[in-house]
């Protein structure tokens, strides 16, 4: 069986990957890539090309892959990241973790040589400068707002994923208004290499393979932008529930988003530090909070930022003209959490009642199957139970809230103290330096004090 070949080269604005007759690019705006030091670029190039393509042999059922690049310095980290994401891929795709593990363990990978490029660049950085990976989701918006309050002067960067049909259009509109209000220009990285994760474009059908390295890729991809601003910190919106897991049908531990869990974030931090002489950290300032507390904190303390909220992937025609498709599990969850927090979803464009009977399939609490994998964890089920309880307490009379009242109210009341402690407490965090962590905790104690 023939193997796969990956040919890549650097360009004036980034790099390009050639695979099976197609060209995929990563392009930076302005002169960002050219201004990034050559010794740092060369190391980054080998690592990003590999991380963008490591999944392709499994996607295409091939036992060998050849590169015209050198082995990546972080090959072992990419290996761990990918392996730990396989159970989630198997669960979503309806395959078996053991089969994917066997295929990956037996894979033969060949490079043009055996000369691993070692990081040698010392990146100058300032403690009062940061880069936020800004998607306009609740997590990244709260991250940006907290960083601004802390005096970290957050700039904003966004990697454009071509797979998500209308996302870029809506985020461009939000970015324009955001820049006008806050004076922060969204630094957009063109990432058609994201199509290498799109099973439909690749001709193999829908698959999750490749998506699990996203945060790791993004952190490395943002280093040239951090260089532009001499930023000390790269920030991701990885909140407390990102560490949740369950066990798949074969008994393998399954993280819905391993690349976002806090233990792995410390590894990403290690990677960005190694690439910059220890001078660029990757952290999360919302790690202490669960989802409901994130929504409450964002809408309560930073309403001027919350109005830009957009969590939907808008990957169907329903999102052509609106930044929320209002017909998916993400829209349903955000509508519920905003209601539970005591705010009006219509303020951010969620104009459809997402708690109607027709939305049942988007809530695992009611046996829905069109849900994300986090909703299948014990914490995910409890989060929905508590959110419906809060919506009920806030006087919502939607059909699913009324059904909740009949079926689950007694359980929710019996576990009320437990739920408040779980979902509104400030939890231990491991990704922040102590100075930043102490100031962050102070903010959250203040905003959550009246819960």
Residues whose CB is less than 8 angstroms from the CB of residue 292 and which lie 6 or more positions away in sequence, other chains included? 337, 340, 341, 383, 386, 387, 390, 423, 424
pLDDT category at 1 given cuts 50, 70, 90 is low
Whether the predicted pLDDT of 373 surpasses 70 = no
Res 372: pLDDT: 66
Q: Report yes or no: 133 and 141 within 8 Å, Cβ to Cβ.
A: no
What is the reported pLDDT for 379? 83
pLDDT, average across residues 94-103: 98
Nearest by Cα to 72 from 210, 215, 216, 230? 216
Question: How large is the average pLDDT for residues 50-64?
Answer: 98
Query: pTM score, two decimals?
Result: 0.94
C-alpha–C-alpha distance, residues 220 and 259, integer Å: 13
Block residue for tokens 């995929």:
24
Domain ranges of the chain: 4-132+154-283, 291-425
246 contacts 148 by C-beta, under 8 angstroms: no
* DSSP secondary structure, 385-419, as one string: HHHHHHHHHTT---HHHHHHHHHTHHHHHHTHHHH
Min mean pLDDT across 11-15, 277-281, 368-372 is at: 368-372
């Amino acid at each position: 069986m023939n193997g796969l070949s990956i040919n890549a080269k650097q360009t004036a604005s980034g790099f390009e990957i050639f695979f099976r007759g197609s060209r995929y690019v990563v392009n930076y705006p302005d002169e960002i890539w050219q201004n990034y030091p050559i010794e740092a670029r060369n190391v980054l190039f080998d690592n990003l090309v590999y991380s963008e393509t490591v999944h392709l042999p499994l996607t295409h059922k091939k036992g060998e892959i050849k590169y015209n690049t050198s082995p990546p310095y972080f090959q072992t980290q990419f290996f761990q990241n990918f392996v730990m994401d396989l159970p989630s891929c198997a669960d979503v795709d309806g395959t078996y973790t053991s089969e994917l593990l066997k295929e990956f363990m037996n894979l033969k990978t060949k490079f043009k040589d055996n000369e691993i490029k070692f990081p040698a660049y010392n990146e100058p950085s300032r403690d009062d400068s940061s880069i936020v990976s800004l998607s306009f989701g609740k997590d990244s918006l709260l991250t940006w707002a907290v960083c601004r309050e802390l005096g970290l002067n957050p700039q904003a960067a966004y990697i454009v994923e071509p797979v998500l049909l209308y996302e870029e259009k809506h985020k461009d509109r939000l970015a324009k208004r955001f820049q006008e209000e806050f004076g922060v220009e969204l630094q957009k990285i063109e990432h058609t290499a994201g199509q290498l994760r799109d099973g439909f474009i690749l001709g193999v059908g829908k698959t999750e393979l490749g998506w699990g390295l996203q945060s790791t890729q993004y952190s490395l991809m943002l280093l040239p932008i951090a260089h532009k601003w001499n930023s000390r910190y790269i920030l991701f919106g990885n909140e407390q529930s990102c560490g949740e897991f369950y066990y798949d049908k074969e008994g393998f531990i399954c993280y819905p988003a391993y690349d976002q869990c806090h233990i792995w974030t410390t590894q990403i931090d290690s990677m960005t530090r190694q690439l910059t002489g220890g001078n660029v950290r990757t952290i999360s300032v919302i790690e202490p909070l669960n989802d409901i507390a994130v929504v409450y904190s964002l809408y309560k303390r930073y309403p001027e930022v919350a109005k830009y909220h957009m969590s939907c992937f808008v990957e169907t025609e329903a999102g052509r003209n609106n930044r929320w498709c209002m017909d998916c599990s993400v829209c349903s969850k955000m509508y519920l959490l905003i209601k539970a927090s005591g705010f009006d979803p219509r303020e951010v464009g969620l104009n459809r009642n997402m708690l109607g009977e027709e939305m049942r399939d988007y809530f695992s609490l009611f046996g829905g199957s069109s849900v994300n994998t986090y909703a299948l964890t014990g914490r995910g089920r409890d989060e929905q139970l508590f959110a419906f309880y809060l919506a009920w307490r806030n006087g919502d009379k939607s059909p699913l809230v009324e059904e909740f009242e009949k079926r689950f109210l007694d359980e929710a009341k019996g576990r009320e103290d437990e739920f408040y402690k779980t979902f509104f407490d400030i939890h231990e965090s491991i990704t922040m330096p102590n100075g930043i962590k102490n100031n962050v905790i102070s903010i959250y104690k203040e905003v959550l004090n009246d819960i």
